[in-house]
Amino acid sequence: MMSGGGYTTIDNQKVSGSVPAVPDPGHVGVKFADSNLHSFPPSEAAGKISGSFRPPTDADDTFSKPANGSANDSQQSGWMRNFMVASYRPYFDVDTSDVLERIRESIIPFKASFTELTANNPDLYGPFWICTTLIFAAASIGTFVTYLAHKFQNKEWDYDINLVTWSAGLFYGYVTLVPLGLYIILKYLSAPLGLVQLWCLYGYSLSIFIPALCLSVVPIEIFRWVIVGIAGLMSSCFVALNLRNHISSAGERWFLIVLVIFLLQMALAVVLKLYFFTVTV
């Protein structure tokens, strides 16, 4: 091995001491495909879950529109679509602010703007959880009231598990069957209103009973009657006034229908008081 003159000799071969520079290929442009990131969210997104999920707006055709645009769902028609989970996904497309806003509307009975607020996006999420909360609140608070009454009188007390069953049947049955019956009547009178919208209205109308049940812990019978009466009156006015303008198009019998709606809601409040908060020792 020899070195000198800028060269290095390895086994009688001359190797240059400097590495030749790689020629510059010049500026290489990279072109990306066009994207829609500049417009976020996409203009076609209409719902909170997905842009393709929107509740139907036709009041007389509540369950007849596809829940999404997939090919499999488009093949389903008629009532078969009601057995698909995707058909009900749009009715749970609400967030906390939506639910709270609708609860606030429901405790202001004389405003009568709830049907307009939920006309394009009725939900079942709020009604489901309101009814579920009422079931356990009525059963637990009613049990606690009877426990205190027996405890103060030093009498034996037994827990009644049937309170949970009865409260579930009362609230779920009322919110399901009464709007269904009203839907059939209005359809017969040629003044149809969406079934989901009726379920939404009746579900939120029960939200006022949650604080009423909590206040019923006070061991004063007249106070309990006043609280339940006020809650029943507010709930009845809320439902009747929100349906009055729509039912008025049903002809001369509209007043009778609104009166029955009002009385049924008051009857619910009376049943709630008599069954859950009437203490017998």
pLDDT at 80 over 70: no
How far is the C-alpha of 244 from the C-alpha of 107, rounded, in Å?
A: 17
> CA nearest 88: which of 56, 114, 119?
56
How far is the C-alpha of 79 from the C-alpha of 82, rounded, in Å?
A: 5
Could you report the per-residue pLDDT of 95-153, keeping only the tens digit for each?
Answer: 899 999 999 999 988 888 898 888 888 999 999 999 999 999 888 888 887 877 777 77
The pLDDT of residue 48 is: 53
DSSP letter at 32 equals P
Confidence label for 61 from pLDDT (cuts 50, 70 and 90): very low
Mean pLDDT for the chain overall: 75
DSSP letter at 47 equals S
Confidence label for 44 from pLDDT (cuts 50, 70 and 90): very low
Enumerate the β-bridge partners of residue 14.
Answer: 9
How far is the C-alpha of 128 from the C-alpha of 206, rounded, in Å?
A: 11
At 277, list the tokens.
Answer: 């908060």
Which DSSP string corresponds to 232-251?
HHHHHHHHHHHHHHHHGGG-
Could you report the per-residue pLDDT of 211-239, keeping only the tens digit for each?
Answer: 998 898 888 889 989 999 999 999 999 99
Between 115 and 19, residue with greater pLDDT: 115
Which pTM value belongs to this model? Answer: 0.69
Helix axes 125-152, 254-276, angle to 10 degrees: 40
**Mean pLDDT, range 64-69, rounded to an integer:** 42
Between 17 and 80, residue with greater pLDDT: 80
Which DSSP string corresponds to 52-87?
T------TT-TT-S-SS--HHHHT--GGGGGGSGGG
